[in-house]
Amino acid sequence: MIKIKIEFLGGAHEVGKSGFLLDGRVALDYGVKIGMEEPEYLPSLKIDAVLLSHAHLDHCGSIPVLFNKGHPKTIATPETLDLSKMLLMDSYKVSLKQGYKPPYRKQNIKKAFARFDPIEYNEQRNVAGFNVEYFDAGHIPGSSGILLNKEGKRIFYTGDINLSSTYLLNGATLPKKTDVLIMESTYGNREHPPREEEEKRFVDAVNEGLEKGEKILLPCFAVGRSQEVLLMLNKYRYKKIAIDGMIKQSSEIILYYKKNIRNYQNLKSILDRVTWVRGTRARDEAIDTKNIFVTTSGMMTGGPIVYLLEKMRNDNIRIIFTGYLVEDTPGRRLFETGIFSNDEDEFPIDAPMFRFDFSAHAGQSELLDIVRRLNPKKVFVVHGDDTDKFADLISDEFKDVDVEAPEIGDVATI
Ligand SMILES: [Zn+2]
Ligand SMILES: [Zn+2]
């Protein structure tokens, strides 16, 4: 049977800069690793195509680097195309502001988008000898799992995946049996709390704050999470809500591509109802008149949330995080110490703070369910903090599956 070479350029034993190269010609994702230090990019290579799973920068952030040497095609859903353009433009700007020059010229972003080739879910395409099909991954709007078929050998790459439906998205769909599975494992070693309980705790926290006359600050990721939070706020009929930062642009994109949104009418209705804050004067006005602020960035690394904190730090506020807080980010530090600090500023905040888990990633048992349903001979565990541990668990559960947690730089033949 045919042999396929796979190189693990990044996203192995780490979350960040996912990039897996097939036969030296086709990359599955090409991301950047962004932490508090200088961003880590993937190398500049000459390849035929990138199959992009979704718009998050840890999956698309290094695509412009490829245009230093070549001009590969990027295949992705139309949603991913628009959302990644927004995120790449923003990240270029933010990098320069933080004093890190990306290893490519801004022009490369434009070149990359000129070479984007949109594909819909369940549509097929031939790319450099592979037959390629995209499946809804349920993670963020436009996110995809990717099935590759070369002469009957079937490889499925999960991208970032969520099997459970949320208010915003349907849960992932999966192909039939595959030979090889390349799977994310962000929550490989943990389960999520039951969604209903988590939602109840969230609503209790919001209600308690409003009853005490506090203003509620919800720092949120722009793509996916903020729309999910807005759908929850809509369900419980909250009023006097402001949205701010990149959430506005991403919401416009997400509303435009409505067909894969689970509760499109509800999303439209809440987005029609809330105040879209544009500019500093409007922001100050919102501080005086609104009660709930849904704004970027989720980890407080930038965006209007920093302005709101500075302005409102002596007011009655309550801070509710709804996403993952990476270590050593201003959000994580604030949550743990009660002190906000970034490059420019440092001040204490005396406010009740909460953190809820509305993750867009499959938990441990769902990930095992993916292995069960696809029944592969070989599994590569990627995109996780402790991929070895999760690989061991798969080996224990599925005795005849060959499981590997590759290192960066590893090359395998499948
Ligand atoms: Zn993601
Ligand atoms: Zn990711």
Q: Is a pLDDT exceeding 90 seen at residue 253? A: yes
Segment 110-130 shows an average pLDDT of 96
* Nearest listed ligand to the Cα of residue 162: 1
Instruction: Give the pLDDT score at 372.
Output: 98
Distance 115 CA to ligand 2 centre (A): 23
By C-alpha distance, which of 2, 4, 54 is closest to 25? 4
Identify the nearest ligand to the CA of 323 by its number: 1
Strand order from edge to edge, sheet including 317-321: 275-276, 241-244, 292-295, 215-219, 317-321, 353-355
Six token digits for residue 293: 């602020």
Tell me, what's the pLDDT at 34?
Answer: 86
Task: Match domain 195-355 to its CATH number in 3.90.79.10, 3.40.50.2000, 1.20.1050.10, 3.40.50.10890.
Answer: 3.40.50.10890
Q: Which residue has the higher pLDDT, 272 or 327?
A: 272
**Pairwise pLDDT comparison (1 vs 298), residue with the higher score:** 298
Instruction: Provide the pLDDT for residue 21.
Output: 98
289 C-alpha to ligand 1 centroid (Å): 34
The class that CATH gives domain 5-190+360-413 is: alpha beta
Provide the pLDDT confidence category of residue 38 given band limits of 50, 70 and 90.
confident
Distance 298 CA to ligand 2 centre (A): 15
User: How far is the C-alpha of 386 from the C-alpha of 186, rounded, in Å?
Assistant: 9
Task: Report the alpha-carbon angle 128-371-413, nearest 5.
Answer: 40
Residues 23 and 6: their CA atoms lie apart, in Å, by: 6
Closest listed ligand to the CA of 10 = 2
Provide the pLDDT for residue 17. 96
Residue % of the chain over a pLDDT of 90: 94
pLDDT at 170: 97
Mean pLDDT of 181-195: 96
Nearest alpha carbon to residue 122 among 172, 181, 159, 71: 172
Tell how far the Cα of 224 is from the centroid of ligand 1, in angstroms: 10
Q: pLDDT tens digits, residue range 347-374? A: 999 999 999 999 899 999 999 999 999 9
Rounded to the nearest angstrom, the distance between the alpha carbon of 211 and the centre of ligand 2 is 37
| 263-292 mean pLDDT | 98
How confident is the model over 159-183, as a mean pLDDT?
Answer: 97
Residue 17 CA to ligand 2 center (angstroms) comes to 8
Q: 191-241, pLDDT tens digit by residue? A: 999 999 999 999 999 999 999 999 999 999 999 999 999 999 999 999 999
Instruction: Supply the pLDDT for residue 53.
Output: 98
pLDDT-based confidence at 343, cuts 50/70/90?
confident
Compute the distance from residue 59 Cα to the ligand 1 centre, in Å.
Answer: 7
Give distance in angstroms: CA of 60 to centre of ligand 2: 10
- Residues in Cβ contact with 275 at an 8 Å cutoff, skipping those fewer than 6 apart: 241, 242, 243, 282, 286, 290
Closest ligand by atom to 83 CA: 1
Cα of 386 from ligand 2 centre, angstroms: 15
Q: Ligand 2 center to residue 31 CA distance, Å?
A: 9
Which ligand sits nearest to residue 11's alpha carbon?
Answer: 2
Hey, where are the domains in the chain? Answer: 5-190+360-413, 195-355
Q: Which ligand is nearest to the CA of 382?
A: 2
pLDDT > 70 in the chain, percent:
100
Write 98-101 long-range contacts (CB < 8 A, 24+).
98/343, 100/38, 100/39
The candidate with the shortest Cα–Cα distance to 414, out of 160, 174, 157, is 157
Give me the pLDDT at residue 36, please.
Answer: 65
Tell me the CA–centroid distance for residue 41 and ligand 2, in Å.
15
Closest ligand relative to 223 C-alpha: 1
Determine the distance separating the centroid of ligand 2 and the alpha carbon of 140, expressed in angstroms.
10
C-alpha 130 – ligand 1 centre gap (Å):
24
Q: How far is the CA of 311 from the centre of ligand 1 (A)?
A: 32
CA distances from 399 to 167, 359, 367, 403 (A): 36, 29, 16, 10
Beta strands in 52-143 (DSSP E): 73-76, 116-118, 124-127, 130-136
Q: Does residue 190 sit in helix, strand or coil?
A: coil
Mean pLDDT computed over every residue of the chain: 96
DSSP 387: H
Around ion ligand 1, residues with a beta carbon closer than 5 Å are 56, 160
